[in-house]
Amino acid sequence: MIKVGIVGGTGYTGVELLRLLARHPQVELKAITSRKEAGMPVAEMFPNLRGRVKLAFSTPEESELEHCDVVFFATPNGVAMQQTRALLDAGVKVIDLAADFRIKDIAVWEHWYKMEHACPDLVAEAVYGLPEINRAAIKGARLIANPGCYPTAVQLGFLPLLESGAVDVGFLVADAKSGVSGAGRKAEISTLFAESADNFKAYAVGGHRHWPEIKQGLESFAGKPVGFTFVPHLLPLIRGIHATLYAKVSADIDLQSLFEKRYAGEPFVDVLPAGSHPETRSVRGANLCRIAVHRPAGSDTVVVLSVIDNLVKGAAGQAVQNMNILFDLPEDTALDAVGMLP
Amino acid sequence: MIKVGIVGGTGYTGVELLRLLARHPQVELKAITSRKEAGMPVAEMFPNLRGRVKLAFSTPEESELEHCDVVFFATPNGVAMQQTRALLDAGVKVIDLAADFRIKDIAVWEHWYKMEHACPDLVAEAVYGLPEINRAAIKGARLIANPGCYPTAVQLGFLPLLESGAVDVGFLVADAKSGVSGAGRKAEISTLFAESADNFKAYAVGGHRHWPEIKQGLESFAGKPVGFTFVPHLLPLIRGIHATLYAKVSADIDLQSLFEKRYAGEPFVDVLPAGSHPETRSVRGANLCRIAVHRPAGSDTVVVLSVIDNLVKGAAGQAVQNMNILFDLPEDTALDAVGMLP
Amino acid sequence: MIKVGIVGGTGYTGVELLRLLARHPQVELKAITSRKEAGMPVAEMFPNLRGRVKLAFSTPEESELEHCDVVFFATPNGVAMQQTRALLDAGVKVIDLAADFRIKDIAVWEHWYKMEHACPDLVAEAVYGLPEINRAAIKGARLIANPGCYPTAVQLGFLPLLESGAVDVGFLVADAKSGVSGAGRKAEISTLFAESADNFKAYAVGGHRHWPEIKQGLESFAGKPVGFTFVPHLLPLIRGIHATLYAKVSADIDLQSLFEKRYAGEPFVDVLPAGSHPETRSVRGANLCRIAVHRPAGSDTVVVLSVIDNLVKGAAGQAVQNMNILFDLPEDTALDAVGMLP
Amino acid sequence: MIKVGIVGGTGYTGVELLRLLARHPQVELKAITSRKEAGMPVAEMFPNLRGRVKLAFSTPEESELEHCDVVFFATPNGVAMQQTRALLDAGVKVIDLAADFRIKDIAVWEHWYKMEHACPDLVAEAVYGLPEINRAAIKGARLIANPGCYPTAVQLGFLPLLESGAVDVGFLVADAKSGVSGAGRKAEISTLFAESADNFKAYAVGGHRHWPEIKQGLESFAGKPVGFTFVPHLLPLIRGIHATLYAKVSADIDLQSLFEKRYAGEPFVDVLPAGSHPETRSVRGANLCRIAVHRPAGSDTVVVLSVIDNLVKGAAGQAVQNMNILFDLPEDTALDAVGMLP
């Protein structure tokens, strides 16, 4: 059994990790920390877990995380970087669901996250946990930077186009929409039901932290600088990201077959038949990215539609997928849920 | 022109007052106070008001409320009772949308609202602002206690039954459901979109502050003590209350005609034809209570269905209706909106 | 492996059966019929099933249902009764998710369902598939009448009260609310998004088909006639039923402990601690009924709150639970999903 | 008083026309036709209109539309073109809310709408009813083609950029999102609540009828052919369109001031301050287009955000605005509603 600890389990990625790990046959949950809620049974805060997770929240001190095999950080940005070195030194694998280890250029990271990085050397070591491009490196990693939700949907959508040189890299557009759970479980007016329901808006058009993360990925796929515009929007639904991607086709390639071949062996990327429109609900609760590629008639524009559940393939599910790879388990262990439709 | 001040305009009843008063031909908005947001144009916080409300929030000190003709309190409970006497002394009429003056029995009020009342004598003077029972008294009042949202829907639904003695008063049940805007514009986890959407639950079954307010009304209609159970629920919609009321019929009365006669002259109560089921959306944005009365076949139970928009007939609209009565204006001035459907 | 056939798989209970059975280790899906969609791969209509269900819809003729071990009917009322005898004669077990075999009194059934019953003798034989009251009978049955969604939530909520004689049976009220998926996957204006979203209403107050089904159950629990009022409402959410039940306490019983004892051994009924309010989302996608029991202070009214996912414990999940019992499998096989929250 | 007739009043644009016209002081509603519902009081189908609209649906024959001053067609495509000539000949003004007269190139229209056009000469005469570009022509028109909902939001967003030559016309992208009421009041599975709620998807990426309508407009603004990609999406909300527009800046222009100047005199276009993100709810129920223009840091991409209520500025409200212009009334008569927020 793999001994698992979770730091910061009171948010949505935390409860989602618990929901998934509760059904994982190789996992023994050892600790879930929350200084603020220490002592409260997890299932009291999240009643869906009644009868399935017996743990109570514990303080970091009590939690003996250094005796775990792997620790997930489901914490705000800037927490994992303070605690990771000690865990690695104790032989514990670390999977960070926050952004501390995602961006290789420390100056860029510090600019966007408005703090000094505590351990630049570990950023260099960390493996970016997108299995579809880094599976081999993940297998041997000590420290995994679990990708952001938007970055997962956008990068998987652009990947085949950029690897193959099929598009002009100078004008890539990602019009992305996320459900409200992406904003986290935080008491804020802007994400109240009465503010977000029956409403739609863009936000952070001037600049969003996922922009440099995605750009780093796109440039590594293309092997050169890209011009990339990213506009996130807030959707009145709980779970789900839909990224609509635009680029100019620059080569005469069968796009459908390009995508199908690239993802042929991938258990968690599903390329839909030509002409399809993936729905976010088709992946609700499931660790899947569903993609369709279109080229509107008579146009040189390619339109890619990419959907994920932001809490699963965009966060906790991908983290479990990374754990499965790390520990040489079948990659879909505990990740076999069918999307909940309707 | 009536000079109007609003104390505490940053919540949902505040913005709703502004939305309604912006179209009131006899009203001149003089001040809207918020110590915290003083200086910010109202339309910056509520962009629907751009071009329609030019005021900025001001501190109570700057606001010179004592020069107004009427002041609305759209504040948390316990604020109005501190400021009302000075306004009344200055000749200003006061309409309190909170609960400070609703319950005549001071001990009961203090028990449910967990504070000492600042001015019991004004409670005695205050008129409960439900025009359908108190129109004449409202006309001559200085101080109006605007009813709560649930109390409006529930009392209007039970009123004809209790006045007429048609039901057993020993076992009255109100199963009430409210949209999330009823919880106010406050940063709280439980009313986040990701918590409240696609979800439904009861709350406060053990006891809710609107229970004594409603009970006081029901007993005044019946002229004797009643046994009354009240269970509120949180609906995943923005605006709307639906109260489903149950009682045992104790007299052989034509219920449909009882309701139709009682509300025949009321501009803001609409009794639907027999067999109808009122929908909350039919009163969305409108100052209306729609009611249907049923007696399931072969049963001695009467079921009343009563819907309002909690922010309009349940709060700001009723407050404007009370103001219109106070100032001898046509009762529907600025209250002629048609429910927004779909 | 259990060979399974499904008749009528294009509705919501059909796709839910598939979602659950796709993960059932002892089940081999043999056929899913739809005359209208014959030939279409199931996963084309329900893209969440891509990669998980390979079957295409087939005509009843092609489907060789008589070679199955068990056949589920996920059809409109009146279909199963036409086909059940032939299947039983061929040694196939039948689980009907519709209402054909739920009501023992044929005259009552014919009155509410507006058709003549095709096989009254099979109604007599059929076992009502609520495991919490009929587990032993289910084990030996050939034909199971899977309970309706409202009836499951309401009966489980009243059961301990009636069995124990704790309440006055003369005035039982169930104020029930259902998500829109309960109306099925049918092209109708009243359940369009633009009609049902941000809206709430009661319906069928004059009489609903689940009333006689529930009443039959309540009377069997109580051992005598009951007075029962049932008011269903349409909730703007996809999955979930919340039943709020009211009765007059007639005996001095510890209600919390009554419920806990009654359901102590039940894997799919979860009695919450005193003072709780179950949320529909805590059972979203899960085969669970969560129940809380309240007695508001100083009152002789008991209020029971009972929630289920109408498509799982209220339909397909309960059907799989019945199949597991029929075939002597662990009762929770394929029913171990944790409620999806958020 | 202006005598008004409405053809086809059972859809969402029909009821919205009624909601707006019910408060229009210069309008006398003479007839609203529906062959199917003839005889039914309008307020029975749309209970929000109870007490406000006394008309019943009538057959076209009874309706004596030729005695009206103006007739609105709120009908499916292809109906207005059959009846318009007779009305014009009788001296009646016609405002078509469908697409029959929007596209000047008959071949293009026939290709996209899959039918033969009944009166190409009237297409030539018809004025495209977007007041912000055609106010003078509308004033003198007999026949107005009321713009589509997407076309209103997209054209108003691109207009200043194209008129001024600020952007490269070769690669214009509109990523547009519409609430479900845009699909109309038709019994279809894909727009059921249980299909559309908590879900998001693109549709018609291969080609949508609004593409040629928008392209025609953009080319007239630019004075030359444009490359234009249009991707519509279905939003889980009732009313609202959000268009996110992308283009490459090709001239050094102050974009904020460009938009502010272009729309300075427009009563129903509101350019937000720099850095803003318009929300669909800020125009819910209001005849307004709110626009913000962004240029993400260091990029040569301009991003325009444009929101409308699809049933108001995108349909019925704009139709009433056109009527007001036609009859020389103040343009905002009956169009002074404040957006309903929350």
Predicted confidence (pLDDT) at residue B162 exceeds the cutoff of 80: yes
C-beta atoms of A297 and D227 within 8 A? no
**What's the pLDDT at D151?**
98
Question: Which tokens go with B168?
Answer: 């057993």
D340: chain B residues, CB-CB within 8 Å: 19, 48, 284-285, 340
Contact C19 A342 (CB under 8 A): no
What is the rounded average pLDDT of the residues D328-336? 97
Q: What does the radius of gyration of chain B's CA atoms come to, in whole angstroms?
A: 20
**D340 Cα to chain A: minimum distance (Å):** 11
Residue of C nearest to D189 (CA): C187
d(CA D129, CA D97): 10
**Beta strand C2-7 with C27-33: parallel, antiparallel or unpaired?**
parallel
Burial class (CB in 10 A: 0-12, 13-18, 19+), A135: middle
Taking the Cβ of residue B236 and every Cβ of chain A, the question of whether any pair is shorter than 8 Å is answered with: yes
Instruction: Say yes or no to pLDDT of A60 above 90.
Output: no
Which secondary-structure segment (H or E) carries C84? helix C80-89
User: pLDDT (tens digit, 9 = 90+) per residue, A211-266?
Assistant: 999 999 999 999 999 999 999 999 999 999 999 999 999 988 999 999 999 999 99
pLDDT computed for residue B272 by the predictor: 98
- Which of C46, C197, C338 faces A48 most closely, judged by CB atoms? C338
Instruction: List, for residues A117-142, the tens digit of each pLDDT value.
Output: 999 999 999 999 999 999 999 999 99
Residue C98 C-alpha, separation from nearest chain B C-alpha, in angstroms: 25
Task: Kindly tell me if the per-residue pLDDT of D251 is higher than 90.
Answer: no
Options 3.40.1190.20, 3.30.360.10, 3.40.50.1580, 3.40.50.2300; CATH of A149-309 = 3.30.360.10
Whether A37 shows a pLDDT value over 80: the answer reads yes
Q: How much is the pLDDT for B147?
A: 98
Average predicted confidence (pLDDT) for chain C = 97
What residue of B is the nearest CA neighbor of A342? B198
| pLDDT of A298 over the 80 cut | no
Residues of D in contact with C12 (CB under 8 A): 194
Q: Is pLDDT at B297 greater than 90 in this prediction?
A: no
On the 0-12 / 13-18 / 19+ scale of CB atoms within 10 A, B49 is buried
State the average pLDDT over residues C98-123: 98
D-chain CB neighbours of A177 within 8 Å are: 177, 200, 233
pLDDT band at D9 (very low <50, low <70, confident <90, very high): confident
User: What is the full DSSP assignment across C117-167?
Assistant: -S-HHHHHHPEE--HHHHHHHHHT-SEEEPPPHHHHHHHHHHHHHHHTT-B
Structure tokens belonging to residue C37? 């969609």
pLDDT interval class at D252 (50, 70, 90) = confident
Residue C177: its pLDDT value, please?
98
DSSP state of D181: G
Percent of chain A at pLDDT above 70?
100
Average pLDDT, chain B: 97
Other residues' Cβ atoms within 10 Å of the Cβ of residue C39: 10
Q: What does the alpha-carbon distance between residue B278 and residue B298 come to, in Å, rounded to a whole number?
A: 23
- Gap from A283 CA to chain C (nearest CA, Å): 6
The residue behind tokens 């944790």 is: C338
Q: How confident is the model at residue C61 (pLDDT cuts 50, 70, 90)?
A: confident
H-only helix segments in chain B: 12-21, 42-45, 80-89, 106-113, 120-125, 131-139, 149-163, 193-196, 210-222, 255-262, 317-326
Domain boundaries, chain C: 2-125, 150-310
Interface of D with B in 49-68 (CB under 8 A): 49-52
- Closest CA in chain B for residue C274: B206
* ipTM of predicted assembly, 2 dp: 0.97
Write down the pLDDT at residue D63: 86
For residue A52, pLDDT beyond 80: yes
Q: Could you tell me if residue B333 is left (phi over 0), alpha (psi between -120 and 50 degrees) or otherwise beta?
A: beta
Closest-approach residue (CA) in chain C for A271: C50
Contact with chain B for residue A297, Cβ under 8 A:
no
Residues of D in contact with C191 (CB under 8 A): 192-194
* Local structure of residue A195 (DSSP, 8 states): H
Q: Residues near A220 by Cβ (< 8 Å), separated by ≥ 6?
A: none
Choose the mutation target among B111, B190, B205 for the interface with C, i.e. most C CBs under 10 Å.
B205
Q: Which amino acid is at A273?
A: P
**Closest CA relative to residue A71, chosen from A58, A61, A84:** A84
- Asked if D187 lies within 8 A of C187 by C-beta distance, the reply is yes
Give residue B273's pLDDT. 97
Mean pLDDT of C139-143: 98
Inter-chain residue contact D297 with A206, CB threshold 8 Å? yes
The pLDDT value given to residue B331: 98
Query: Angle A317-326/A131-139 helices, nearest 10 degrees?
Result: 40
Question: Out of A185, A191, A194, whose CB is closest to B181?
Answer: A194
Any B CB within 8 A of A196 CB: yes
Interface contact flag, A207 D297, Cβ < 8 Å: yes
Confidence bin at A267 (pLDDT 50/70/90): very high
Given C51, C238, C282, which is nearest A48 (Cβ)? C282
Work out the pLDDT band at C298, boundaries 50, 70, 90: confident
pLDDT at C60: 87
Distance from CA of A228 to the nearest CA of C (A): 31
Do strands B241-248 and D289-294 pair parallel, antiparallel, or not at all (unpaired)? unpaired
Binned at pLDDT 50, 70 and 90, residue D301 comes out as: very high
Distance from the B242 Cα atom to the nearest Cα atom in chain C, whole angstroms = 7
φ, ψ of residue D169 in degrees (nearest 5): -80, 0
Which pLDDT does position C175 carry in this prediction?
Answer: 98
| B278 interface with C at CB cutoff 8 Å | yes
Nearest CA distance, A332 vs chain C (angstrom)? 13
Examine the pLDDT at D298 and tell me if it is beyond 80. no
**pLDDT at residue C205, rounded to an integer:** 97
Under an 8 A CB cutoff, do B339 and D15 touch? no
User: What pTM did the predictor assign?
Assistant: 0.97
D-chain CB neighbours of C196 within 8 Å are: 193
Over residues A10-26, the pLDDT tens digits come to 999 999 999 999 999 99
CB contact under 8 A, A239 and C283: no
* Residue B9, pLDDT score: 87
Neighbours of chain C (3+ CB pairs under 8 A): A, B, D
The verdict on whether B149 is a catalytic residue reads: yes
Per-residue pLDDT of C226-235, as tens digits, reads 999 999 999 9
Around Cβ C111, how many Cβ atoms within 10 Å? 12
Question: Does residue C81 carry a pLDDT above 80?
Answer: yes
Domain D2-125 has CATH 3.40.50.720: yes
Q: What is the mean pLDDT of residues D41-66?
A: 94
Q: Which CATH superfamily is domain B150-310 in?
A: Dihydrodipicolinate Reductase; domain 2 (3.30.360.10)
Question: Sheet holding D172-179: strands in order across?
Answer: D201-202, D228-235, D172-179, D241-248, D301-308, D289-294, D269-271
- Whether the CB-CB separation of C200 and B239 falls below 8 Å is answered with no
